[in-house]
Chain A
């Protein structure tokens, strides 16, 4: 049997986290290949339905990454993201999904190391959780 190779989607904001991910690259930091980054203008632009859609399509984990609180390029988009994320967490169980499959992170443009470490950690956790279709989710 082949090893479980999770599929992770990361919505990264244009101003902080996407740049942090780029910095991980420029710094040649290695992290698991499982993540696919989708650039958004702001974490506050991520509809809750994006996460649900990704999960519906079989993603094993979904991350939203934005600027640190207080640093949002658009003043308060990350706070809005946080509220919506909390709401999402609340319905994960109802949907029969493990809440650990979704994640909200603040990663600044200077935190290439944090980006790489976060992906490592998230990928490890998702591997531990196992595949969605293999389980009951």
Chain B
């Protein structure tokens, strides 16, 4: 027997001002299976809630309809009321008579009529609702962090310092990421290494952090609280446990190739570490360039290694890790300006990128901090910075990369400090100095005589002496200007990492139109993804500077802790379920499911679909795809919908 209680809220005059609450109550009382109808001034208040609880207990109500504000406001409040009164919290429906009736209409009679329809719909639905229990799932109290740049480092340290284990996976041979490539950082000009390397050491010595460098995540399966990751530890060509990091192998290696870490501005050996403070301080043999591996000759490193660590034949290793949450902190790639042919990058030696200049300015870089131009090694006296290369550009990326203005300004100032007579021109569209202390920093550089030229650079061409001419439309003077300089620096923007599509597929997370990983909500859920238990930190989510990256990394840490600090998670029971007796095993539901939540199982020698309750998000797409109605979305069934339609259109309840 069904015993429904209906409770109508006045919400002061918010509802009662436009809806005749007494009339509504009178009509509602006549609906079938309704035992009691009451109205109250503020139903969400404590006495309002108590009113419902007392009725449930004294009148043996088994289902409740609340006619009040939007379920988005107080559905959880009233669910709790039901629980506390001893009935299943899912036997509740809300008739939204405030946001969707009293607030949007101005004729009292018609609005009251509509409110009654909404109550009828709710009554029809609540009769079809089933008792549901949240699904408990054990949580593996560890976090996987992908990427060990400053974002991944910060996230890992925050989680480890709270006392939970972190598995930190870095693709490169050392942690540190892009930040480790930088010399001085804006706007404070503190040296990147001075603030970053202590954190790197902290990571390597923290017993709660399990570090896998020169490693890549190959597979991730599972769901929030229970992820299983397969990680490939690439062979370094030596045994890292034996290596002492003495550097003898690198010093004696005869092969030199352009160094990627130096953005091609310097050379490295075929057995090498990225930089002197690398963590771990263990080199890698570059198999493509090692003469022993390619030609079978040499073998010097093996001979000179005092620890006997070199092992050319050493293969990759696969490790498996179980975690409860994942943080993606995979970073960015600099925009490759060769596609902007008009700027001559790759054709003219004295056109370099901002990151290449950064390596030149770095005191531990290939030139020990001296800025020289690539064509002849001369110190350039006239330098042009070209802003927004690959950013704010209809033909490349529409977005602003956010750091390039300040990066160029910072480097211009550093050059000016070394060479006060240098002439520096910054070609810009708008200067975006949005961060704390940025505008002040920008003003300071203006005082140093750096010339800001407003206008996008149309073309760069080369003179016989290696100089390059920058042609730009000066939008302040309204004329085309040509300017011969010794060197041009392209302020390239940030783009999603080349392997981000792989990570996207691994985790099933979404990317935005810019190609960066998409957050669950642009404002209120900036570190969550739409996949429960997977979070974002740093530039993997979009271009940002170091302070914003660190802030987001700390946010991701706290969100991941929000998952893994629980031993057990309650998963929503509002998901799909299969009637396996009816299922024909056609697999249409499996094909349509975006979450891989459905698998085909063999049941009495036939196929049937089975839903993994932890993966199902309750979208209901499979229920529509099902050929014979054997899948239903709990409490959002077709029979419930038909009953609601009957109630409101057929005039019955």
Which residue numbers of A lie inside 8 Å of B, CB to CB? 7, 9, 18-19, 21-22, 24-26, 28-31, 33, 36-42, 44-50, 53-54, 57-59, 70, 73-77, 80, 84, 116
- Expressed in whole angstroms, the Cα–Cα distance for A66 and B510 within the complex equals 18
CA–CA, A7 to B645, complex, Å? 11
Asked whether B103 lies within 8 Å of A57 as measured between CB atoms, the reply is no
Is there contact, CB below 8 Å, between A57 and B645? Answer: yes
A25 touches B623 (CB 8 A): no
Q: With CB as the reference atom, state the residue of chain A lying closest to B621.
A: A44
Do A38 and B644 have beta carbons less than 8 Å apart? yes
Determine if B106 and A30 form an interchain contact, defined as CB atoms under 8 angstroms apart: yes
A9 pairs with B620, CB closer than 8 A: no
- A-contacting 9-mer, from B93-101, B154-162, B211-219, B409-417: B93-101
Provide the bound-state CA to CA distance between A54 and B647, in Å. Answer: 11
Within 8 A of A (CB), among B60-102: 70-72, 96, 98-101
Q: Which 8 A-B pairs have the closest CB atoms?
A: A45-B620, A25-B99, A74-B619, A57-B649, A25-B103, A75-B594, A22-B99, A44-B621
Task: Give 8 A-B pairs besides A75-B510, A84-B624 with Cβ atoms closer than 8 angstroms.
Answer: A19-B72, A22-B96, A30-B105, A41-B618, A44-B619, A53-B645, A57-B645, A76-B621
Inside 8 A of A9's CB, which chain B residues have their CB? 645, 648-649
Please determine whether A33 and B111 come into contact, CB atoms closer than 8 angstroms: yes
Those of B637-653 within 8 Å (CB) of chain A: 638, 641-642, 644-646, 648-650
Cα A59 to Cα B645 in complex, Å, equals: 9
A101 CB, nearest partner CB in chain B, Å:
14
B118 beta carbon closer than 8 Å to chain A: yes
**B548-582 interface (Cβ within 8 A of A):** 574
Q: Kindly list chain B residues whose C-beta atoms are within 8 Å of the C-beta of A74.
A: 594, 617, 619, 621
Contact B103 A42 (CB under 8 A): no
| Contact partners of B633 in chain A: CB under 8 A | 41, 45
Among A24, A36, A42, A116, which residue has its beta carbon within 8 angstroms of that of B621? A42
Closest to B620 in A: A45
B636 touches A33 (CB 8 A): no
Q: Determine whether the beta carbon of A44 is less than 8 Å from that of B624.
A: yes
Q: Give min CB distance, A35 to chain B, whole Å.
A: 8
CB neighbours (8 Å) of B105 from chain A are: 30-31, 33
| Chain A residues whose CB sits within 8 angstroms of the CB of B111 once the complex forms | 33
Q: Are B619 and A42 in contact (CB under 8 A)?
A: yes
Q: Report the minimal beta-carbon distance from B95 to chain A, rounded to whole angstroms.
A: 10
Shortest C-beta distance, A117 to chain B (Å), equals 12
Whether A36 touches B114, Cβ cut-off 8 Å, given contacts A22-B99, A25-B99, A44-B620, is yes
Measured CA separation A125–B601 after assembly (Å) = 49
Query: In the bound complex, how far is the Cα of B623 from the Cα of A84, in angstroms?
Result: 13
Chain B minimum-CB-distance residue to A49:
B638
* B530–A47 touching, CB < 8 Å: no
Distance in angstroms from A34 CB to nearest chain B CB is 8
Inter-subunit contact A50/B641 (CB<8 Å): yes
Inter-chain CA distance A33–B620, complex, in Å, is 29
The reply to whether A77 and B99 contact each other, CB–CB distance below 8 Å, is: no
What's the Cα separation between A75 and B574 when bound, in Å?
18
Most buried by A among B71, B100, B105, B113: B100
Size category, B interface: 35 or more
Q: Chain B's nearest CB lies how many Å from the CB of A87?
A: 11
Closest beta carbon of chain B to A113's beta carbon, Å: 12
Contact A50 B107 (CB under 8 A): no
Within 8 Å by CB of B118, from A30, A36, A41, lies: A36
What is the minimal beta-carbon distance from B427 to any residue of chain A, in angstroms?
Answer: 34
B18 to chain A, nearest CB (A): 11
Whole-angstrom CA separation of A33 from B100 in the bound complex:
9
16 pairs across A/B with beta carbons < 8 Å?
A7-B649, A9-B648, A33-B110, A36-B117, A37-B96, A38-B121, A40-B636, A40-B641, A44-B621, A44-B624, A46-B624, A47-B623, A47-B638, A50-B638, A53-B645, A74-B619
Cβ of B498 within 8 Å of any chain A Cβ, yes or no, is no
On whether the beta carbons of B72 and A77 are closer than 8 Å, the reply is no
Question: How far is B594's CA from A33's CA once the two chains are assembled, in angstroms?
Answer: 37
Q: Give every chain A residue within 8 A of B644 (Cβ-Cβ).
A: 38
* Known contacts A37-B96, A40-B636; A54 and B649 CB within 8 A of each other: yes
Q: In the complex, what distance in Å separates the CA atom of A74 from the CA atom of B118?
A: 27
CB–CB B104/A24 < 8 A: yes
Contact A45 B636 (CB under 8 A): yes
Instruction: Please state if A57 and B121 are interface contacts (CB–CB under 8 Å).
Output: no
From B104, B110, B617, B620, name the one whose CB has the most chain A CB atoms within 10 angstroms.
Answer: B104
Listed residue (B121, B633, B645, B650) with the most chain A CB atoms within 10 angstroms of its CB: B645
Q: Which residue of chain A has its CB nearest to the CB of B93?
A: A39
Q: How far is the CA of A103 from the CA of B644 in the complex (A)?
A: 20
Contact at A29–B104, with CB atoms within 8 Å? Answer: yes
Q: Closest residue to A109 on the B side, CB-wise?
A: B521
A19 and B96 CA atoms in complex are apart in Å by 12
Q: In the assembly, what is the distance between CA of A39 and CA of B619, in Å?
A: 13
Q: Decide if B179 is an interface residue (CB 8 Å cutoff).
A: no
State whether A58 touches B71 (Cβ < 8 A).
no
Interface hub of B111, B117, B633, B648 (most chain A Cβ within 10 A):
B648
B321 CB to nearest A CB, Å: 27
B51 at the A/B interface (Cβ < 8 Å)?
no
A45-B624, A46-B624 known; A36 and B619 CB under 8 Å?
A: no
Identity of the chain A residue whose Cβ is nearest the Cβ of B112 in the assembled complex:
A33
B513 part of interface (Cβ distance < 8 Å): yes
B36 within 8 A of A: no
Task: Answer yes or no: B304 CB below 8 A from chain A CBs.
Answer: no
A36-B121, A42-B621, A80-B592 are contacts. A31–B104 as well, Cβ < 8 Å? yes
Which of B101, B510, B594, B641 has the largest count of A CB atoms less than 10 A from its CB?
B641
Q: How far is the CB of B497 from chain A (nearest CB, A)?
A: 22
**What residues on B are CB-neighbors of A84 within 8 Å?**
624
Do A77 and B621 have beta carbons less than 8 Å apart?
A: yes
* Contact in complex: A40, B620 (CB < 8 Å): yes
Complex Cα gap A29–B72 (Å): 19
